[in-house]
Amino acid sequence: MSRRLITSGSPFERDYGYSRAVVDGNIVYLSGTTGYDYATMTMPEGAAAQAEACWRTIRSVLAEAGTGLGGVLRATYYVTDRDDAEAVLAVCGRVLADIRPAATIVVVAGLLRPEMRVEIEVTARIG
């Protein structure tokens, strides 16, 4: 299997020179994903809603890569406000309840745009 690039249609990918995901062999490296709806470039306001939107994009990209949430091996969650951590973790816990990948949550000073409150990055396997 050769190296394959996957896009979500985000203008950030085009403008900043990266791919939403890179498939290399049977591993999918998914870039940090925020809550934008990339078709409309709109963002939900709350951290939990942003986490839900992140997972919608991640599911779609993993499907295009040939796997699903069950293939997730590692997840990293970035939040800009410690007070949002529990709400984000509740969403992640529901989405990944039976999968239980290795995971880390990090509280950061900020993300690229001020409206971004959550970013999720995953590594998954195919097959």
pLDDT tens per residue across span 65-109:
999 999 999 999 999 999 999 999 999 999 999 999 999 999 999
**Domain 4-125 sits in which CATH superfamily?**
RutC-like (3.30.1330.40)
The answer, yes or no, to whether residue 14 has pLDDT greater than 70, is yes
pTM over cut 0.85? yes
Q: Return the number of other C-beta atoms located less than 10 Å from residue 110's C-beta.
A: 11
User: In terms of pLDDT, which residue wins out, 101 or 40?
Assistant: 101
User: In terms of pLDDT, which residue wins out, 62 or 10?
Assistant: 62
pLDDT, residue 85, reads: 98
The answer, yes or no, to whether residue 9 has pLDDT greater than 90, is no
Spell out the domain ranges in the chain: 4-125
Mean predicted confidence (pLDDT) in 33-46: 93
Tokens at 70, concatenated: 């069950």
